[in-house]
Amino acid sequence: RKRQRYVEKDGKCNVQHGNVRETYRYLTDIFTTLVDLEWRFSLLVFILAYAVTWLFFGLIWWFIAYCRGDLDHLEDHAWTPCVNNLNGFVSAFLFSIETETTIGYGHRVITDKCPEGIVLLLLQAILGSMVNAFMVGCMFVKISQPNKRAETLVFSSHAVVSLRDDRLCLMFRVGDLRDSHIVEASIRAKLIKSKQTQEGEFIPLDQTDLSVGFETGDDRLFLVSPLIISHEIDERSPFWDVSRHQLEKDDFEIVVILEGMVEATGMTCQARSSYLADEVLWGHRFAPLLSLEEGFYEVDY
């Protein structure tokens, strides 16, 4: 039976939220909701936000001109309209775009004989600034999200169990493909395995910490070249009483999490990967990939 991963190799979590009744909670944090949307929906909301406000205020400009009788005095040069050269809904819509985007072509312009138009002009200018700040902010945050930086943080396809300094260790390797570094990088590992308590309670996907050097500070990485992360299998390890054959037949998943700040932007980045039981090789070691060249070290990925 193929085991369903909790976390994919590329870091995607295979968890979906169903039967969420209090969906209003998403709207209370509308900014994060818009940032988390897929790109096609984000672009649709971005376009609709501007189009709806342009149409809404265009309709109001046309309604003001209609109520004042400006549309009935288009050829009367002695008549002072609310907006010069506004002769229908299309021109009102164009004037709305010019007002909100501060283009100002100069053909259509508001006069000083229209107090309701002055009030509407102020409202549209304020609301337009708010829409610009909100939507441009959403787009900027979405574009600059650090999750794409995790694409260049790579993990070894397998983990290994072997002796290191006469101690049995579970090891995996992590590396960074970019020249700009991850600042304050730290690594964590979790064992995902279902278990049953002594009281008979079944806990699906129970999470257990795997020590990768928290006590000694080895979990804080200087990730300039690929590093081998080691978990010592001692009395405190959940693998202490697991033999090689049990390890191959067991049903578990090891989730590894690398976190740090992107040097270029200062934003926090997280990269994830996982290893199933058949991806843990017993008695293997990682091949060396660092060599000394003429004046520099070269990493052969």
DSSP structure string for 25-74: HHHHTHHHHHHHS-HHHHHHHHHHHHHHHHHHHHHHHHHHHHHHTGGG-T
pLDDT tens digit string along 215-233?
A: 888 999 999 999 999 999 9
Could you identify the residue written with the tokens 């209003």?
24
Q: Which of 112, 144, 176 is the last residue of a domain?
A: 144
Please indicate whether residue 72 or residue 174 has the higher confidence score (pLDDT): 174
- Domain extent, residue 101, equals 23-144
Clarify whether residues 155 and 264 are in a common domain: yes
pLDDT tens digit string along 23-71?
A: 778 778 888 888 888 889 999 999 999 999 999 999 999 999 999 888 8
**Lowest-confidence range among 15-24, 63-72, 114-123, 158-167?**
15-24
Clarify whether residues 126 and 156 are in a common domain: no
Q: Which of 144, 160, 188 is the last residue of a domain?
A: 144
Q: Which of 110, 127, 144 is the last residue of a domain?
A: 144
What is the pLDDT confidence band of residue 1, given thresholds at 50, 70 and 90?
low
**CB-based contacts of 264-269 (< 8 A; 24+ apart in sequence):** 264/180, 265/144, 265/146, 267/144, 267/145, 267/146, 268/146, 269/146, 269/147, 269/149, 269/150, 269/153, 269/182
Clarify whether residues 273 and 186 are in a common domain: yes
**Lowest-confidence range among 116-125, 130-139, 263-272?**
263-272
Q: What are phi and psi of 210, to 5 degrees?
A: -110, 120
What is the pLDDT confidence band of residue 16, given thresholds at 50, 70 and 90?
confident
What is the pLDDT confidence band of residue 245, given thresholds at 50, 70 and 90?
confident
Average pLDDT, the chain: 89
In whole angstroms, what separates CA 188 from the centre of its chain? 20
Looking at residue 279, what is its pLDDT? 92
Looking at residue 121, what is its pLDDT? 93
**Overall domain count for the chain:** 2
**Residue 8 belongs to a domain:** no
Task: Describe the crossing of helices 39-68 and 115-143 by its angle, rounded to 10 degrees.
Answer: 180
Q: How far is CA 143 from CA 34, 39, 147, 231, 290, in A?
A: 12, 10, 10, 36, 34
pLDDT > 90? residue 248: no
**Residue 10 belongs to a domain:** no
Clarify whether residues 108 and 45 are in a common domain: yes
Tokens representing residue 227 in the block: 């590093």
Residue 12 burial (CB count, 10 A): 10
Evaluate whether 274 touches 5 at the Cβ level (below 8 Å). Answer: yes
Q: Are strands 159-164 and 280-282 parallel, antiparallel or unpaired?
A: parallel
Looking at residue 37, what is its pLDDT? 87
Clarify whether residues 177 and 161 are in a common domain: yes
Q: In a 10 Å sphere around its CB, with 0-12 CB exposed, 13-18 middle and 19+ buried, how is residue 77 labelled?
A: exposed
Question: Rounded to whole angstroms, how far apart are CA atoms 181 and 149?
Answer: 11
Quick one: what percent of the chain has pLDDT higher than 90? 51
Looking at residue 2, what is its pLDDT? 65
